[in-house]
Amino acid sequence: MDETNATTREDPHSLAPIQIEGTSIDEDIAQLKRGRGSRLVGTTLCMGLAAFGIVHWMDRIDGTQAYAAAAERVEVIHAQQGNAYLRCVLPNLQRSQLSSQQALHTAFEAASDGFQKQYAKQLAHCAPSLDGLQAQLANLRVPADVERPANALRAATVQISEVTDAYRAYLQDPARPYDFVQATPQIEKIAWAWSSYDEERHKLLAALRSP
């Protein structure tokens, strides 16, 4: 029996080597599974980061488009209502007269002296354009971080309306003849109010174009 057992142990076809090999294969399979699991976790993490990046990029695009759309809207409102009003109250306006507040004052002064008391009718005729400017700016939607300069622009249009109405009241008063000395400070207020509006408009556009 001893010889038989010895022969069995030395037999290259005995079960012992097969069991050892089987254990090695199981370990290899386990390692492969662990490798696949690690790759799966890594792939999932990469996909999650990529998805986050895409969402952030899309949000950035949407935000940029909101600023661009608001800036374009400001330009359209000014072109349709602001310029229309200014051309109406200053029928003979020259481009060079928009270069400074003093030049704009001179333009208002010339228009007022030309029309004198009748200038009240011209201002009344132009009022719908100013009302449209105020209404459209009131409804203008801008990103929250530029709401302050937008409100400043809206306030500037209200100021134009107030000083223009005050000048119209003076011109429409039958008990007060047209007097250049009395008219001049009121004309200056209108010119100043328009210059303020134009300055606030450029500030808002600059804020919208550099978010």
53-87 pLDDT, tens digit each: 433 433 444 568 999 999 999 999 999 999 999 99
Predicted confidence at residue 201, as pLDDT, reads 97
Which pLDDT tens digit goes with each residue over 72-130?
Answer: 999 999 999 999 999 999 988 887 777 777 888 889 889 999 999 999 999 999 999 99
Rounded distance, CA 149 to CA 197, Å? 11
3-state secondary structure 40-87: HHHHHHHHHHHHHHHHHHHHHHHHHHHHHHHHHHHHHHHHHHHHHHHH
- Cα separation, 10 vs 70, whole angstroms: 90
Sign of CA dihedral 156, 157, 160, 161: negative
Both tokens of residue 137? 């700016």
Average pLDDT over residues 173-198: 92
What's the chain's length in residues?
A: 211
Close Cβ partners of 115 (under 8 Å, ≥ 6 residues apart): 121, 122
What percent of the chain lies above the pLDDT cut of 70? Answer: 69
Reduced DSSP (H G I as helix, E B as strand, rest coil) percent helix, strand, coil of the chain, to 5: 90, 0, 10
Model pTM above 0.85: no
Q: How confident is the model at residue 145 (pLDDT cuts 50, 70, 90)?
A: very high
Q: Where are the alpha helices (DSSP H) in 118-179?
A: 119-138, 147-172
How far apart, in whole angstroms, are the C-alpha atoms of residue 30 and residue 25? 9
The residue among 153, 163, 164 whose CA lies nearest residue 78 is 153
d(CA 51, CA 53): 5
